[in-house]
A = this chain, B = another copy of it.
Amino acid sequence: MAVYTDVSDGALRAFLSEYQIGDLTAFRGIAEGVENSNFVLRTTGGDFILTLYERRVDPDDLPWFLGLMGYLSDHGLSCPRPVPARDGAALRTLAGRPAAVTTFLSGVWPRQVLPAHCAPVGAALATLHAAGQGYDAVRPNALGPAAWPALVAACRADGDSVQPGLMAELDAALAEILPAWPGQGGHADLPRGQIHADLFPDNVFFLDGAVSGIIDFYFACTDILAYDIAICLNAWCFDADGSFDVAKSRALIAGYESVRPLSEAERRALPVLASGGALRFLLTRLYDWVNTPPGAMVTRKDPLDYLRRLRFHRAVRDGGAYGL
């Protein structure tokens, strides 16, 4: 739930006077989103989203993110399109924060993932990957495998307080995953491109059973395309009781392949990529867990949800577990 920075009337009016998007008629803070402050902005010209970028986003990355969103939107993906002001610039400043106006997308994100959601989300992910091939600028994945040893180290002192033996298990997982990673230790690399890297259900809007929009590109980066599928296997294919639902993963991968077929090497790499995806979310959640004062006004997500996912993927021996 997030409005971290509020916007005074005068500042909002001055900000909007630089745009040609009509006159303001309504302005409401949005509860969703944990990284930035978001508002629904209604004008006589339509609906828009106003985002103020908070401290977790590096301002230097914003031109890349906004450029990617504009490019994907131009190339067949339904995603927020940055709206430039009169001077042509979409990235501006408001209330002391970097800020941008983007288009409003219809749809509702699924609170409860059903197998029927998974083929459309797989196809939308492949559409994103295909469209992103023409966007040449590279943004390295700041939360990729190279970052994991430092995250483990940062959690070492307090991690076992969350669950005894946790840090030893993370050390073992890291020692297994890193040398097996595509492009590492003699393993062939896999196709790379622009990935979303955070395609959880609350970032995907549906309307009438179809994906109507993908949002929140502020973890997007240039990395192994199949790693994005592996993140989706973690984000979409485990049931509320923690069990893996192979019907969901089969549908998700089939949906993906309806747009972009996977190579044999990509399929073979799914278990290690999915293990890495589970480890990545486990580590950032664990880091936040042990570094968030109990009184802080943020929702801490349980890192152990991802320990169960990590164990599942590490035990996978072939693609059959994913319905391949």
Which of A5-13, A177-185, A316-324 lines the interface with chain B?
Answer: A5-13
A106-125, CB under 8 A of B: which get 1 and which 0? 11101110000000000000
Please determine whether A31 and B2 come into contact, CB atoms closer than 8 angstroms.
yes
- Distance, CA A3 to CA B1, complexed state (A): 7
Indicate if A143 sits at the interface (CB-CB under 8 A).
Answer: no
Indicate if A294 sits at the interface (CB-CB under 8 A).
Answer: yes
Chain B positions within 8 Å of A26 at CB level: 104-108, 205
Which A residues between 235 and 276 are near B, CB-CB below 8 angstroms? none
Best-surrounded residue of A9, A107, A295 (most CB of chain B within 10 A): A9
- Give min CB distance, A43 to chain B, whole Å: 11
- Distance, CA A105 to CA B26, complexed state (A): 8
- Distance, CA A294 to CA B296, complexed state (A): 9
Please determine whether B25 and A32 come into contact, CB atoms closer than 8 angstroms.
no
Please determine whether B31 and A112 come into contact, CB atoms closer than 8 angstroms.
no
Please determine whether A10 and B112 come into contact, CB atoms closer than 8 angstroms.
yes
Sort chain A's interface into a size bin: 20 to 34
Chain B positions within 8 Å of A6 at CB level: 111
Copies in the complex: 2
Q: State whether A29 and B27 are in contact (beta carbons under 8 Å apart), knowing that A9-B110, A42-B106 are contacts in the complex.
A: no
- Give min CB distance, A10 to chain B, whole Å: 7
Q: State whether A31 and B1 are in contact (beta carbons under 8 Å apart), knowing that A24-B108, A25-B207, A108-B12 are contacts in the complex.
A: yes
Please determine whether B42 and A32 come into contact, CB atoms closer than 8 angstroms.
no
Please determine whether B111 and A9 come into contact, CB atoms closer than 8 angstroms.
yes
- Give min CB distance, A8 to chain B, whole Å: 5
Partner of A28, one of B2, B27, B32, B299: B32
- Give min CB distance, A117 to chain B, whole Å: 9
Q: Which residue of B lies closest to A39 (CB)?
A: B31
Please determine whether B29 and A30 come into contact, CB atoms closer than 8 angstroms.
yes
Indicate if A172 sits at the interface (CB-CB under 8 A).
Answer: no
Chain B positions within 8 Å of A106 at CB level: 25-26, 42
Chain B positions within 8 Å of A28 at CB level: 30-32, 40
Indicate if A297 sits at the interface (CB-CB under 8 A).
Answer: yes
Please determine whether B112 and A9 come into contact, CB atoms closer than 8 angstroms.
yes
Please determine whether B27 and A30 come into contact, CB atoms closer than 8 angstroms.
no
Q: Which residue of B lies closest to A113 (CB)?
A: B9
A19-57, CB under 8 A of B: which get 1 and which 0? 000001111111110000000101000000000000000
Chain B positions within 8 Å of A111 at CB level: 6-9
Chain B positions within 8 Å of A32 at CB level: 3, 28-29
Chain B positions within 8 Å of A112 at CB level: 8-10
A residues lining the B interface (CB < 8 Å): 1-3, 6-10, 12, 24-32, 40, 42, 104-108, 110-112, 205, 207, 294-295, 297, 299
A-B contact pairs, 8 of them (CB 8 A): A10-B112, A12-B108, A25-B106, A25-B107, A26-B106, A29-B31, A294-B294, A297-B299
